[in-house]
Amino acid sequence: MEAATEQAVVLWPLLLFTAGAIGLILAMLGISAVLGGRHSSRLGNQPYESGIKPTGSARMRFSAKFYLVAIIFVLFDLEVVFIFAWAIAAPDLGWPGYGAFLFFLGILTLGLIYEWRIGALDWAPRAPRQYRLAAIENNRRRNLSGRDT
């Protein structure tokens, strides 16, 4: 009998919280149904975009650069969380923790250099002069490799 009483004592705050949450949800839905405006005009059903009349389709395509930059941002943002965790635990970790932190920063730096080298951070297309210089450099390399044979 005592175990059932202890279990009831543990469950009543959870049940009270659940009832309160459901009651709050129902109250918000009920109040919005009673006080909310109703309109079925053509202008009332259009999306409101900060005072600007909507133009075009909502299904326009975005460049893959936007998604690539977003993924890179999320990766580096998550790594900042690890740096904060290290900063909090740094006094307890000592020199081995500092070494691990430097190793982690080295990997981050290599990742950033790699993304920079492959052009993941470049938004503008290469200028025509850069294309010409790259072509000249490629021709020079080809000529040098042809002379050695």
Residue-range domains of the chain with CATH: 63-121 (1.20.58.1610)
Task: Return the amino acid letter for 116.
Answer: W
Per-residue pLDDT of 59-108, as tens digits, reads: 777 777 788 888 888 888 888 888 888 889 888 989 999 999 999 999 98
Residue 52 backbone phi and psi in degrees, to 5:
-100, 130
Residue 4 has pLDDT above 70, yes or no: no
Query: Which residue shows structure tokens 């009673």?
Result: 34
Query: Which residue shows structure tokens 């951070």?
Result: 121
Strand partners, 52: 49
149 pLDDT tier (thresholds 50, 70, 90): very low
110 pLDDT tier (thresholds 50, 70, 90): very high
> 128: helix, coil or strand?
helix
State pTM to two decimals: 0.44
Strand partners, 39: none
What single DSSP character describes residue 121? T
